[in-house]
Amino acid sequence: MDRTSRRSRGGGGLQFGGLRIAPLLFADDVVLMASSVCDLQHSLDRFAAECEAAGMRISTSKSEAMVPSRKPMDCPLQVGNEALPQVKEFKYLGVLFSSEGTVEREMGRRIGAAGAVLQSLYRTVVTKRELSQKAKISVYWAIFVPTLTYVDIREIRELRLGKGSRDFERYPEEARKLDAAHCFIVLYGLEFRLRTLSVAAFSEEEVNMWITGLNWLMMDTQRAPAPQQIDRWLRKQFEAMDRSHEGSITVKDVKVLLPQINYRVPNTRFLKDKLQEVEARNDLSYPNFSQLYRTLMFDAQKSIIEQLELSFPLRNVDRPELCQISLYDFQKFLQMDQKESWASDLCRVREFLTGYMRGRSQPEPMLQLDDFLTFLFSKENSVCDPQLSPVIADDMKRPLSQYWISSSHNTYLTGDQFSSESSLEAYARCLRMGCRCIELDCWDGPDDLPIIYHGHTLTSKIKFLDVLHTIKEHAFVTSEYPVVLSIEDHCSVVQQRNMATHFKKVFGDLLLTKPVDNNAEELPSPYQLRRKILIKHKKLVEGTLYEEVSSASYSENDISNSLKNGILYLEDPIDHTWTPHYFVLTSNKIYYSEETSHYQTTDEEDDDEAKEECNNNEQHCAERWFHGKLGGGRDGRQVAEKLLQEYCEGGAKDGTFLVRESETFVGDYTLSFWSVTLK
């Protein structure tokens, strides 16, 4: 069979740019490809002849023809006198290929399978208290991460060349063997903090093919009309619930899904009635599920239908799947209700509607009622004109002060201001998303160079120099207009001078160090400042040489301006468990974070935490408010109350406190404070 396949392979295939994609040959599964029906028939005849010469024949009952096109096209192929059936999708080596050229159904199936694995692991691993944190982390890297490598095309936000990801850093020995030109990173997710899929190819040419193909899929997905996007989303939800891959889901699955999409079912009877409307009982096929979704959405929008009937008559309003809006009625709606001037041209309306309903073969484009309701809330009916969104160079020649600037506050943070991670990736993301003003919160660090973090909090620290190199790498990838660095400076003069030196050294000619025009009477324009980095910073007071100078102007809610901060425990009023929270005390308010986990993800962090705890104990011993062990349970509390009472009777202020070692949580502490106003 291999010899037959190789001999017939000669002239077939497709041209893709400068490359030829040859037929797919695997054992007795063969996919022949060509750019025309005539060429495909020629390849098929040649393959059939090679098979006959080897004493074999093509099985017409298992062979199919498919045209990758969104528009219906005939592909009459024959093997001898037998015609091959034409299909809209087929499976090859377990992968589903669609005539529309999309991969959503296959991705949905795989994501559903991955979801089932993750649910099983969550029940058997994550929630098990018997397993140590290290064991859970080992399972995470061994099973969770490989399971999650199926990426939804709709969630891809960025493609980057090179090895700049934690995946490569995690395996340094293997990464050193790879050429950076042969690697790329897929950044995906629905939150600001994206996940990464790091890929190593065999050649630079292969990387370019991947990038080209993924960019096309991303663009196609983003430009897909609203009905198609909804269908893809519904298929993804359906496949995720169809864990047995039998093509059906249960009513129980639907009940679990509805609250997740913010749909509240009034009562059980209501859902049963809706299931009867879509002719489903215990199990739902995808058509049943899709129709149920449309029925529920239709019920929530009935008031709009009443307004719609004032514009043109509708039939079968109670059966939205049978109610249709013709091309002419749709044109009338655009002209009379929405005042769209372009809708006077029927050809343009027909072209628009054909694109909006792409994938459906209709002699004359028309809308079903639920499609029309979808259109009203879709991006295609946006109040903003997309043609006015791109920046026009001729409009960027006014003084810089006349523009709104896309800015980022606390750029370095990936989460809250209490204990989240400070990250170089946050700078890269903001710059690539188009931000032109970013913040650097600088504090004195080791080696006479600053560190960047949210001061007086548990946020992690990153190096000033690493941030500068990240800014230089990503500053002008998305936009050539100037980047403003807003420096919130808490550093000594010595470190400020070092900052200035490294600004010049790292940025070089990109850094604006002198006026664009000495004779100008107003600020330069964004056009004049293209590919320039500007620094926004208060000047030192003249004559200042040694004292620390802060350029920060604190807002009332800036928690870095704190009097006290640290971990305190709160008792849950329901199950009476104690959970740690990060507290910050300012001059007039107290803030605290969501639950703070004591678990660390690496041995190094465990060691750091142990060292910090040891140092903290030594500091506590020197404080007069620290009383060590005062006894266990009620005895310790009574002793603490007595000490506070005796101390406060001497005229101490309301709010006086003491700290003692906790008997309940060994290694932690209990805070007791005196208040005559708190009841």
Q: How many angstroms separate the CA atoms of 58 and 242, rounded?
A: 35
The pair of structure tokens assigned to 102 is 């999309």
Judged by DSSP in three states, 185 sits in strand
Q: How many angstroms separate the CA atoms of 292 and 641, rounded?
A: 63
Q: CB-based burial of residue 310 (10 Å sphere; 0-12 exposed, 13-18 middle, 19+ buried)?
A: exposed
Active site residues: 409, 454
Q: How many angstroms separate the CA atoms of 275 and 295, rounded?
A: 10
Angle at 470 between CA 439 and CA 462, to 5 degrees: 65
Q: How far is CA 140 from CA 54, 239, 415, 602, in A?
A: 51, 24, 22, 13
Judged by DSSP in three states, 420 sits in coil
Contact 440, 467 (CB under 8 A): yes
The pair of structure tokens assigned to 283 is 């199990």
Those residues whose C-beta lies under 8 Å from the C-beta of residue 568, and which sit 6 or more positions away, are: 580, 581, 583, 592, 671
Q: How far is CA 346 from CA 332, 335, 672, in A?
A: 10, 11, 78
The pair of structure tokens assigned to 459 is 């946020």
Judged by DSSP in three states, 160 sits in strand
Q: How many angstroms separate the CA atoms of 165 and 429, rounded?
A: 13
Q: How far is CA 281 from CA 101, 237, 408, 565, in A?
A: 34, 19, 51, 57
Q: How many angstroms separate the CA atoms of 442 and 444, rounded?
A: 7
Residue 583 φ/ψ, nearest 5 degrees: -110, 145
Angle at 420 between CA 416 and CA 424, to 5 degrees: 110
